[in-house]
């Protein structure tokens, strides 16, 4: 395999005059399940083998992807990639350059206690059915639930024209569980995700009963909740909401490609943009975490990247192209979902560092506001506007947690909001999830509980 890939990269440079060439190949197997209530909709097994070829010709990228490992097909694809780059370069003003990266030769093997490829389909189905049984058995007002399960195992290969040769095992185990409850015309909805790069053993701690109870309880508790008042309020955010805030509201702005596109961080490097309690990292090296890997899809080692230190912007997340533009070092954030797409700058495990408060202390500081414990979804714009939809929420009245509220969301401007973070907890949790930026990748985000002096709360009451 490796020799074939190396030859392709040689062809791009020698025959077509490419300044740079890289070839990524994958051999992957997937197992998927969709289980609705007690019905297994389908048990699924897939094989995806393919190659992505990317070249830089005249300072322009050419990219070709084919679902084949045949030498003949690949040879024609590399010529396609080079010709297309040439065609696209006709109107180029600023040629693309790449920052230097150390040449690597490595073979990365995954050692998991329970490799999902060695767990039989019956057991996976059994686990899924047990989750749904726990959900439906929790309360008769829970009417439906859906479990999606995916595991992915295999090997990826990376070679480039600079001499890097990497063979890296891949292993992901993921599940998303949703439930809905109905009572007296009120419909509620809850969700939870599980994800690991360690192995199927994730279900030993996150047992079906535990997952099921968690999701069911979330749906049921919202039934008695009321709509929040819209307006500007002080809030305490749970670690789960802090995670999505760090990821969506700040993280995307710290992706160097978006920063260059007019994002608010490009001109703020080294400047204070947040209160002193704010320290953020994006870390690809946490063992077993859903966003971890050893090398990114440009062959650059993953690292722990400091983004904000005590409120001051310390760095951005780079690929080799943006690193060259910023005169910085690549940070190992170039990721491609699969062989069909080119690598782009993506987050890994993104989080806020914990501080010293207890949850009680954080809540005590709020006279009238909300405790937003977990999220349903989040999104941000490069102008710094963010929105996070809330799943589990409570009022805070005179420093104490009060009645539950449902269907709230928060919004604000990231930079304004970061200055309003006035205290952070000593707790810390990382939450697995998926992030979409045209392509989907697996990530984690998290942090401690925090208190924010004011944020806009969207509510219909």
Is 65 or 156 the residue whose CB approaches other proteins more closely? 65
- Residue 182 near residue 195, CB atoms below 8 Å: no
Nearest to 425 by CA among 243, 233, 252: 243
Could you tell me the smallest distance in angstroms from the CB atom of residue 219 to other proteins?
10
Could you tell me the smallest distance in angstroms from the CB atom of residue 36 to other proteins?
7
Is 120 or 205 the residue whose CB approaches other proteins more closely? 120
Is 260 or 328 the residue whose CB approaches other proteins more closely? 260
Could you tell me the smallest distance in angstroms from the CB atom of residue 105 to other proteins?
28
- Residue 426 near residue 418, CB atoms below 8 Å: no
Could you tell me the smallest distance in angstroms from the CB atom of residue 442 to other proteins?
17
Could you tell me the smallest distance in angstroms from the CB atom of residue 304 to other proteins?
28
Local structure of 205: helix, strand or coil: helix
Is 380 or 430 the residue whose CB approaches other proteins more closely? 380
Q: What is the largest CA-CA distance in the chain?
A: 73
Structure token pair of residue 47: 């094989």
Is 399 or 404 the residue whose CB approaches other proteins more closely? 404
Is 144 or 429 the residue whose CB approaches other proteins more closely? 144
State how far the Cα of 379 lies from the Cα of 241, in Å rounded to an integer. Answer: 12
CA 306 to chain centre: 17
Could you tell me the smallest distance in angstroms from the CB atom of residue 180 to other proteins?
5
CB neighbour list of residue 353: distance below 8 Å, 6 or more residues apart? 279, 280, 281, 447, 448
Nearest to 277 by CA among 245, 317, 247, 309: 309
Could you tell me the smallest distance in angstroms from the CB atom of residue 14 to other proteins?
21
Structure token pair of residue 354: 């914990």
Could you tell me the smallest distance in angstroms from the CB atom of residue 86 to other proteins?
9
Is 331 or 414 the residue whose CB approaches other proteins more closely? 414
Strand order in the sheet with 429-437: 312-313, 304-309, 280-283, 349-352, 439-447, 429-437
Nearest to 94 by CA among 62, 59, 61: 59
Strand segments, DSSP code E, in 8-75 are 20-36, 39-57, 60-66
Is 283 or 342 the residue whose CB approaches other proteins more closely? 342
> Which residues in 16-38 are b (16+ Cβ under 10 Å) and which e?
bebbbbbbbbbbbbbbbbebeee
Could you tell me the smallest distance in angstroms from the CB atom of residue 438 to other proteins?
10
CB neighbour list of residue 299: distance below 8 Å, 6 or more residues apart? 22, 101, 104, 158, 160, 164, 166
**How are the residues of the chain apportioned to helix, strand and coil, as percentages rounded to the nearest 5?**
25, 45, 30
DSSP structure class, residue 246 = I
DSSP structure class, residue 229 = P
Could you tell me the smallest distance in angstroms from the CB atom of residue 364 to other proteins?
27
Local structure of 426: helix, strand or coil: coil
Is 148 or 427 the residue whose CB approaches other proteins more closely? 148
Is 207 or 413 the residue whose CB approaches other proteins more closely? 413
């Amino acid at each position: 395999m490796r020799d074939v890939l190396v030859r392709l990269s040689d062809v791009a440079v020698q025959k077509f005059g490419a300044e740079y060439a890289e070839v990524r190949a994958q051999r992957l197997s997937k197992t998927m399940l969709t289980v609705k209530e007690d019905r297994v909709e389908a048990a699924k097994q897939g094989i995806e083998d393919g190659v992505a070829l990317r070249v830089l010709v005249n300072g322009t990228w050419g990219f070709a992807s084919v679902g084949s490992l045949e030498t003949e097909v690949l040879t024609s694809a590399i010529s396609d990639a080079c010709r297309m780059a040439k065609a696209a370069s006709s109107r180029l003003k600023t040629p693309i350059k790449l920052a230097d990266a150390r040449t690597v030769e490595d073979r990365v093997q995954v050692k998991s206690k329970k490799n999902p490829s060695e767990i039989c389909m019956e057991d996976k189905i059994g686990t899924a059915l047990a989750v749904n049984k726990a959900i439906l058995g929790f309360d008769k007002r829970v009417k439906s639930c859906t479990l999606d399960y995916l595991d992915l195992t295999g090997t990826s290969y990376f070679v480039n024209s600079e001499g890097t040769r990497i063979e890296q095992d891949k292993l992901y185990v993921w599940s998303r569980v949703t439930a809905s409850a109905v009572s007296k015309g009120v419909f509620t909805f809850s969700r939870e995700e599980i994800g690991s790069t360690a192995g199927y053993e994730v279900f030993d701690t996150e047992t079906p009963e535990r997952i099921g109870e968690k999701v069911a309880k979330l749906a049921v508790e919202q039934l008695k909740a009321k709509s929040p008042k819209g307006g500007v309020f002080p809030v305490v955010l749970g670690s789960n909401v802090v995670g999505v805030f760090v990821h969506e509201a700040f993280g995307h702005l710290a992706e160097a490609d978006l920063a260059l596109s007019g994002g608010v961080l490009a001109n703020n490097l080294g400047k204070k943009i947040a209160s002193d309690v704010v320290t953020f990292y994006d870390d690809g090296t946490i063992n077993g975490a859903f966003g971890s890997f050893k090398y990114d899809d440009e062959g650059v080692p993953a690292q722990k990247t400091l983004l904000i230190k005590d409120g001051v912007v310390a760095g951005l997340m780079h690929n080799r192209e943006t690193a060259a533009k910023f005169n910085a070092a690549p940070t190992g954030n170039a990721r491609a979902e699969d062989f069909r797409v080119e690598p782009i700058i993506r987050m890994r495990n993104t989080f806020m560092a914990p501080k010293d408060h207890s949850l009680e202390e954080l809540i005590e500081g709020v006279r009238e506001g909300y405790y937003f414990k977990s999220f349903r979804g989040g999104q941000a714009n490069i102008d710094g506007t963010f929105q996070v939809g809330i799943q589990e929420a409570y009022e805070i009245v005179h420093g104490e947690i009060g009645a539950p509220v449902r269907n709230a969301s928060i919004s604000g401007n990231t930079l304004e909001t970061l200055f309003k973070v006035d205290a952070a907890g000593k707790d810390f949790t990382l939450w697995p999830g998926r992030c979409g930026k045209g392509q989907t990748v697996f990530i984690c985000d998290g942090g401690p509980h925090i208190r924010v002096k004011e944020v806009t709360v969207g509510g219909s009451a």
